[in-house]
């Protein structure tokens, strides 16, 4: 815009000078046969009505000035006559102001050169005002463009945010959800359809794996139970020899462990399929924790461990599935007992914080390696067995996590090697009074 305006103003000034020169040319041609006095009078009359008429000269063949008779202003820097054969434009300065000059040759019976000058101050002022306006307008336009671009980008990227939010909410437990689609025919619609196709394939694959795990676990329960029963029956034989007895004891121990593994796998398969059979009811978390600690305390005493309960004074009611919650607390406490060496200390704490009750199981065990900590709730993940004599399948914490997720309860862990671990679960408190409590 700046260069276009500058060019337009320059061209406009040149056209104005050329029109003035042609008007004088017309007078010269019209008065070709008139007397010099009449020609001079007509030229002066024309100069009076033309803006900047005092900045016009007509020179003869040899450079003598034919018009006007007296220069005004007398010190204007008119250039010397040159043998110009065509129109020529040039710039000059006078009293600190810029001027534009046109040399306009006229050829008839005699040769004339018309010199026409015009000031450029108006053009310079206009360019200065325009430049100042641009200096103020450009930042405003940039800010307006940025704001408009921001609004436009938000509008354009809103479907991307919706797709991102929808994908973030889809987990292994709700692969049946699909992304919203619209009949726009653009890339986002194709992306949504592609993602939905991928989710459908993932759902089918996960369903196949879950069905296989559930079916395999269910079908293997019977032969494992048969092996266990046969081993127990064989061990009841009073005439069994020592070698056979040892073999059957090993078989019995392995069948018991295999049975527990199958039960855990079946539990996780049901949880993945969304059939956890969670029935919520008011549960006194304090009473349940004390009951679980009393049941597992003999295991801790066998390792000369100390189990301490730090609970709230009154009941701590929450809405939960009693059997699932009992298993969750049992897994956390059993895990602490397994990974805490002899003469260690285990603390089970219940603390009320505003509308929540915090369950923390703290041990002084071997801790969890830093590299393993992010995957501690994954299946078949265990701390290094070589660091302690620990039996297990690596499914306990995965089941605890599944139970916590079914209750919408965050389950977290903090651990430091050789210092112990802290497993924390936060439950919502509910206002509940058991029947007969008022009496």
CATH number at residue 67: 3.30.450
User: H or E stretch including 96?
Assistant: none
Number of other CB atoms surrounding residue 302 within 10 Å: 10
247 inside domain: yes
201 and 66 housed in the same domain: no
**What phi, psi does 386 have (nearest 5°)?**
-65, -15
**Two structure tokens written together for 14:** 């040149």
42 and 22 within one domain = yes
Burial group, residue 348, by CB count within 10 angstroms (0-12, 13-18, 19+): buried
96, 119, 142: which is the final residue of a domain?
119
Which pLDDT score is estimated for 17? 93
Q: Read off the pLDDT of residues 125-150 as tens digits, 9 standing for 90 and up.
A: 999 999 999 899 989 999 999 999 99
Torsion of CA 239, 243, 248, 251, to 10 degrees: 180
On whether both 293 and 262 belong to a single domain, the answer is: no
- Do 354 and 400 fall into the same domain? yes
Looking at residue 383, its pLDDT comes to: 65
> Could you read off the pLDDT of 40-55 as tens digits, one per residue?
889 889 988 988 888 9
Residues 267 and 386 both lie in one domain: no
Whether residue 341 sits in one domain with residue 245: no
DSSP-based helix, strand, coil % in the chain, nearest 5: 50, 20, 30
Q: Domain range spanning residue 205?
A: 187-272
Quick one: pLDDT at residue 439? 45
The reply to whether 264 and 328 lie within a common domain is no
The confidence score (pLDDT) of residue 20 equals 92
Report if residue 351 sits inside a domain: yes
Tell whether 149 is covered by a domain: no
Query: In terms of domains, do 266 and 308 share one?
Result: no
CB-based burial of residue 16 (10 Å sphere; 0-12 exposed, 13-18 middle, 19+ buried)? middle
Let me know: does 367 contact 413? Beta carbons within 8 Å: no
Answer yes or no: do 197 and 74 share one domain. Answer: no
Given this model, what pLDDT does residue 79 score? 84
Do 118 and 100 contact (CB within 8 A), yes or no?
Answer: yes
Last residue of a domain, one of 94, 119, 144: 119
Same domain, 285 and 424: yes
Strand 56-59 relative to strand 65-67: parallel, antiparallel, unpaired?
antiparallel
Whether residue 179 lies inside any domain: the answer is no
Does a structural domain hold residue 165?
no
Cα–Cα distance measured from residue 50 to residue 70, given in angstroms and rounded to the nearest whole number: 17
Q: Is this prediction's pTM over 0.95?
A: no
State the 10-residue block means of pLDDT for the chain, 439 residues long. 92 93 89 86 89 88 82 85 76 91 76 89 91 90 92 83 82 77 79 88 82 74 83 86 87 83 74 66 92 92 92 88 90 92 92 90 91 87 58 80 89 91 92 68
Do residues 50 and 25 touch, judged by C-beta distance below 8 A?
Answer: no
What is d(CA 26, CA 19) in angstroms, rounded to the nearest whole number? 10
Q: Of 119, 148, 167, which one is at a domain's C-terminal end?
A: 119
Q: In 3-state terms, what secondary structure has residue 331?
A: helix
Quick check: is 181 in a domain? no
Q: What is the pLDDT of residue 260?
A: 76
What CA–CA distance (Å, rounded) separates 212 from 219? Answer: 10
> Is 173 a member of any domain?
no
Q: Are 299 and 221 in a shared domain?
A: no
> In this structure, what token pair is assigned to residue 205?
């694959």
**The pair of three-digit structure tokens given for residue 144, joined into one six-digit string:** 């307006």
Is the residue at 146 inside a domain? Answer: no
Q: Residue 240 is part of a domain; what is its CATH number?
A: 1.10.287.130
How many domains does the structure of the chain reveal? 3
CB contact at 8 A, 39 and 27: yes
Residue 405, domain CATH = 3.30.565.10
Backbone angles phi, psi at 336, to 5 degrees: -65, -40
Shared domain check, 326 and 253: no
Rg of the chain taking only CA atoms, in angstroms: 50
Is 264 in contact with 401 (CB distance < 8 Å)? no
The pLDDT, as a whole number, for residue 388 is: 46
Question: What's the confidence (pLDDT) of residue 18?
Answer: 92
């Amino acid at each position: 815009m700046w260069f276009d305006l500058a060019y337009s103003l320059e061209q406009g000034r040149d056209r104005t000078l050329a029109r003035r020169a042609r008007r004088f040319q017309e007078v010269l041609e019209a008065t070709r046969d008139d007397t010099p006095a009449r020609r001079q009078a007509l030229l002066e009359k024309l100069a009076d009505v033309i803006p900047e008429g005092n900045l016009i000269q007509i020179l003869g063949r040899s450079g003598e000035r034919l018009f006007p008779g007296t220069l005004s202003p007398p010190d204007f820097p008119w250039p010397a006559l040159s043998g110009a054969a065509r129109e020529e434009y040039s710039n000059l300065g006078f009293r600190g102001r810029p001027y534009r000059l046109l040399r306009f040759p006229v050829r008839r019976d005699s040769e004339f050169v018309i010199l026409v000058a015009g000031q450029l101050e108006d053009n310079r002022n206009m360019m200065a005002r325009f430049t100042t306006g641009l200096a103020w307008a450009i930042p405003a336009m940039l800010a307006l463009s940025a704001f408009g671009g921001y609004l436009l980008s938000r509008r354009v990227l809103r479907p991307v945010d919706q797709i991102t939010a929808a994908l973030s909410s889809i987990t292994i437990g709700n692969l049946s959800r699909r992304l919203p689609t619209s009949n726009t025919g653009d890339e986002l619609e194709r992306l949504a359809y592609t993602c939905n196709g991928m989710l459908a394939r993932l759902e089918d694959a996960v369903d196949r794996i879950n069905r296989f795990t559930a079916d395999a676990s269910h079908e293997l329960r019977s032969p494992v139970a048969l092996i266990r029963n046969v081993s127990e029956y064989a061990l009841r034989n009073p005439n069994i020899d020592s070698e056979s007895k040892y073999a059957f004891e090993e078989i019995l121990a392995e069948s018991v462990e295999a049975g527990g593994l199958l039960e855990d796998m079946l539990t996780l398969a049901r949880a993945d399929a969304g059939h956890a059979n969670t029935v919520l009811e008011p549960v006194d978390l304090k009473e349940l924790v004390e009951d679980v600690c009393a049941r597992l305390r003999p295991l801790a005493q066998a390792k000369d461990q100390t189990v301490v309960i730090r609970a709230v004074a009154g009941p701590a009611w929450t809405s939960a599935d009693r059997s699932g919650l009992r298993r969750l607390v049992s897994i956390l406490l059993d895990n602490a007992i397994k990974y805490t060496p002899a003469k260690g200390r285990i603390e089970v704490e219940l603390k009320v914080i505003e509308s929540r009750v915090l369950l923390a199981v703290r041990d002084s065990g071997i801790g969890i390696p830093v590299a393993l900590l992010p995957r501690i709730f994954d299946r078949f993940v265990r701390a290094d067995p070589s660091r302690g004599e620990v039996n297990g399948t690596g499914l306990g914490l995965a089941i605890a996590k599944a139970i916590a997720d079914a209750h919408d309860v965050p389950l977290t862990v903090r651990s430091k090697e050789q210092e112990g671990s802290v497993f924390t679960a936060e439950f919502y408190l509910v206002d509940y009074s058991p029947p007969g409590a008022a009496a």
